[in-house]
Amino acid sequence: MLLPTAETRRALADLDLMGINALRLFPGVEGVASACAARFRLDLD
């Protein structure tokens, strides 16, 4: 599946709302750090 770059932020935000994020996929410190970094970069609330 190809996703236009312009839709990346919206797609990641939608996935996060569904609970699909680094924290769920990679439990542990690395998942927490990655999820926090993604929220910071994407400014997700």
Query: What are the tens digits of pLDDT across the range 1-45?
Result: 888 989 988 888 898 889 888 888 888 898 889 888 888 887 755
Tokens found for residue 34: 């990655």
Give the pLDDT confidence score for residue 44 in this predicted structure.
Answer: 54
* Cα distances (Å, whole numbers) of residue 29 to 2, 3, 4, 6, 8: 30, 29, 30, 30, 25
Give the pLDDT confidence score for residue 4 in this predicted structure.
Answer: 93
Q: Are 37 and 26 in contact (CB under 8 A)?
A: no
Query: How far is residue 5's CA from residue 45's CA, in Å, rounded to a whole number?
Result: 21
**pTM for this structure?**
0.63
Say which residues have a Cβ less than 8 Å from residue 13's Cβ, sequence separation at least 6: 42, 44
Give the pLDDT confidence score for residue 43 in this predicted structure.
Answer: 72
